[in-house]
Chain A
Amino acid sequence: MNQKRYFILLALLAALVLSFGCGKQTVDTPRDPHAQLSEEERARLAEEQRRQEMERQALEERRLQEERLARERDRVSDEQLLEEVIDVILATRIHFAFDSYELNQEARSELQKIAENLKKFDTLRLVIEGHCDERGTAEYNLALGERRARAAYEFLILLGVPSQRLQIISYGEERPLDPRSNESAWAQNRRAEFKILQ
């Protein structure tokens, strides 16, 4: 009896082992589904894949295009900004008292704006021109014009503008803004002004 039961158990065990082996085989069978796909189905799938790929490429194109446009927009606005900054710098004039090269409060704040703009656009280089009114004599005024330009130059350097980006020239009384001989013309002509160095 015991022997019989042992055999039955062995047989069941063998059947179990065999049943596991058969199960594995049935799982392996659908490993290549295409093998069972029709020709038509395969073409449809390939078409589908191609379409997806094209959509992906189009999307990528659109993204790149948008990036390009964004960059262009940035560049144009930078250029516009630079032009505006240059216009502001060219229009800036610092005025002085007679026979003086002292920077007043207004002059200092104008120079501060110039320094900020120079920091924003690090390709900008400036010539600082020193000018005088017609009173006083030409040679002394040439020296006074240098002092005025230098006062502006040194203040810009104090504000962190590298000296290599600045140049000085004195015109003395040779380039008046207003050629008349009166107080308001003289006040206009005693100035430092700025030109862009190419």
Chain B
Amino acid sequence: MLIKKILPKQLTFLIVLSVLLLMSNSSLLAQESLKIDIFGPGQDQINIFIAPALPLGHDVFQDNEHPERIRNLLRQNLRLLPFLRDTRDAEILGGPEVAGVRGADIDFRKFNLSRVDMLITIGVDQQAGLPGSVELRAFEVFGQRMVLGKAYTVHEPDQIHLMVRRFCAELMDYLTGHGGFFQAKIAFERKHDDIKEIWTVTPLGHDLRRITSLNAIALSPEWSPDSEKIAFTLLKDNRNSLGVWTRSTDEVSVYNLPGNTVISPAFAPDGRLSVSIDPMGRPDIYWLDRDFRMDKAIMEHWAIDVSPSFDRSGNKMAFASGRLGNPHIFVINLATNQVQRVTYDGRYNTNPTISPDGRYVAFTRQTPDGHRIFLTDLETGRERQLSFGPGNDEDPSFAPDGYFIAFSSNRDGRYRLYLTTRNGDSPIIIPTGDGHATAPAWGREPEF
């Protein structure tokens, strides 16, 4: 029981048995060709192929459903990475099968001829029951060597997607140095009739979960840096309040703040919460103290100031302000109080999100065709359009890796969540179930 309390729930069921590091030192040096600089101006693409699962220990699977599911989930997960191209079975000369899951059993030449850069094999041992023990290996085809090997014991079918996400996190970390994407949990608003509640979901649409049942309008969710809390705006009983959901208790606390509004709560990296409130009769950005009471002002101005967003250092805060007559994006250096104007084009720029390294700001701009996501490089001032509709693309949110950007769009008639990257890769939909889904915010699963 003690272990259950200390260890995350999933870990009591899913145990990583061993790490199969079969790489030699010399091969490590030769791996550089497969590393990807996802932050580079023009990223490369790696052709990846996931071989059909093979049984370990027995000649045939007792049940082929789970091995198939593992392969499909691997494909779905890795398709989310724009720098990987999924190679179809038909593209493999001589057929997609491999003789075994180990390097010695693989005919790398056919994959090399089929222009596959990385091969993943799946071995499943079902002797211990279903779904069984699973070994996942990633090979660099040209060098004919394994770059990543993991073994898992999966007791419940529900644990398969978690296992796949863990493997993908390792693989992405190997390729890019940033694996946090697969650890992510996205909080968002989901609308039913006049009600909006806060939900969470993984980028692949797993673990969809409603975390508030307030029968009210809950808006603008934002994770605390430790992912222990989600703060949000609550519209209920003729007032704006601050709602705070706590993971450990799974409960929501409601805080009333001075003034009439509670808009766009955002946590700073040190765990302090900022929020736009109007104690002086205009929406300004304030710090709250640890008990979620009003503290000192960050940004006071006669105009509207909303939507704070902090970089990883906590020194820079992007925000939207109507001080120039129309909403524009600004960044304040909190150490020097110097305010930098970010947007010069358009008449309606809102919803800024600053990259964790503090270099880029993505935001929503109203164009004649609808809202679109744009990105500005704060160092060069250069701007580029990341999304192209149709409909409205809104609410951009930088992932902690600084690479992915989630946003909401009604391009197919209903607001849904999409993933793109700061390079403007083709948006991928995040499944969120019924109702309009808006305002994505990144957090992570601590027990991952």
Contact = CB atoms under 8 A, between A and B. Distances in A.
A142 B260 contact: no
Given A99-B348, A139-B306, A146-B260, A169 B239 contact: yes
A150 interface: yes
Contact of A195 (B238, B260, B282): B238
A146 B350 contact: no
B238 A142 contact: no
Given A138-B395, A167-B238, A174-B219, A150 B366 contact: no
Interface of A: 99, 127, 135-140, 142-144, 146-147, 149-150, 167-172, 174-175, 195, 197
25 contacts: A99-B348, A136-B366, A137-B350, A137-B371, A139-B219, A139-B306, A139-B350, A139-B351, A140-B307, A140-B327, A143-B263, A143-B276, A143-B283, A146-B283, A147-B283, A147-B304, A149-B260, A167-B238, A169-B260, A170-B240, A170-B260, A171-B217, A174-B219, A174-B235, A197-B238
A168 B394 CA distance: 27
Given A127-B238, A138-B439, A142-B263, 9 more contacts: A135-B366, A136-B327, A138-B395, A139-B264, A139-B350, A142-B240, A150-B281, A174-B219, A195-B238
Contact of B196 (A127, A137, A144, A174): A174
B238, B282, B351, B439 — most chain A CB neighbours (10 Å): B238
Nearest to A168: B260
Contact of B220 (A138, A146, A168): A138
B396 to A, nearest CB: 10
B106 to A, nearest CB: 51
A170 B239 CA distance: 8
Nearest to B194: A175
A91 B371 CA distance: 33
B196 A140 contact: no
Interface residues of B, number: 36
A147 B348 CA distance: 17
Main secondary structure of the interface of A (DSSP, over half): mixed
A151 to B, nearest CB: 11
Contacts of B263: 139, 142-143
Nearest to A198: B238
A147 B233 CA distance: 17
B320 interface: yes
A157 to B, nearest CB: 12
Interface string B365-381: 01000010000000000
A146 to B, nearest CB: 5
